Amino acid sequence: MQVFLVVLGTFFSTLFGGLFGLYYRDRLHLIISFTAGVLIAVSFFDVIPEIFSIATAHNLEITPALIAILAGFLTIHTLEKVAMLHAAHESEYAEHTHPLVGLISASGLAFHSFLDGVGIGMGFHASAHVGLLIAMAVMAHDFCDGLNTVSLMLLHRNTLANARLLLVADALMPMLGAASTYLVTFPVTFLVLYLGFFAGFLLYIGASDLLPEAHSQHSSFTMIGLTIGGVVFVFLVTRLI
């Protein structure tokens, strides 16, 4: 019961972040600027350090995880190019977006939210104190998860209905992840490789998709400040919690 109440908090945190993005979708270029900083920072300050932490704790080789980072980066790059989503010039990015990429990107974020729930569940298996600390960390960045999900869907011209659907799916994933820890055990090697793949995925989406799109038509010092603000926000969250 205690686990359920805690992960319910992650549901509302994600949902509020997504609703914020939907409400202010007319300022999408500003939201995307902030989101780009968040995604890049999450890779460097959250996901990659977690990879090294797990690898060190279980005496695992780090090279496979580094290969997974590159694989994640190249996979989403290849998906975009095969689907002919972008022209060669940055100024044409806005005309070459495609709903499929938004769906794939948002689905990747949703699966990561599932693993956030796995982390919460595993924490509660250790002790209520550990589980609560992990849940606090997850809730702190789930607002941005919801915002990121909506931003990616809208950026790639998905409908509002589909954006809401993926938002709800993303919000539910931590609850499902926590529940799964009572049914399935995830191998540590799988988690390390997945986290590596996801880090590369985030780096590509943030640096190669969101930043060029955000600055393609509305570049300003305000948007640069928002990107830096997204980086600083994640840094503070990962260091303080």
- Give the whole-angstrom CA distance, residue 144 versus residue 114: 15
Q: Using the Cα atoms of residue 181, residue 186, residue 191 and residue 197 in order, give the sign of their dihedral.
A: negative
- Give the whole-angstrom CA distance, residue 1 versus residue 15: 21
- Mean of all residue pLDDT scores within the chain: 81
Structure tokens at 19: 């609703």
Q: For the whole model, what pTM was predicted?
A: 0.71
Average pLDDT over residues 98-104: 72
pLDDT at residue 1 tops 70: no
Beta-carbon-side half-sphere exposure of residue 140 (alpha carbons within 13 Å): 17
pLDDT at residue 159 tops 50: yes
- Give the whole-angstrom CA distance, residue 142 versus residue 93: 28
pLDDT at residue number 116: 82
Contacts of 82 (CB under 8 A, 6+ apart): none
Per-residue confidence band for 85, with pLDDT thresholds at 50, 70 and 90:
very low
Sorted by where each begins, the domain ranges of the chain are 2-240
Beta-carbon-side half-sphere exposure of residue 156 (alpha carbons within 13 Å): 23
pLDDT at residue number 241: 63
**Single-letter code of the amino acid located at 186:** F
**Per-residue pLDDT tens digits for 161-188:** 888 999 999 999 999 988 888 887 778 8
Average pLDDT over residues 36-51: 87
Question: Is-contact 192 49, C-beta < 8 A?
Answer: no
Q: Helix, strand, coil: what percent of the chain each, to 5?
A: 85, 0, 15
Average pLDDT over residues 210-234: 82
pLDDT at residue number 133: 67
Coil/strand/helix, residue 237: helix
**Per-residue pLDDT tens digits for 26-42:** 887 888 888 888 889 88
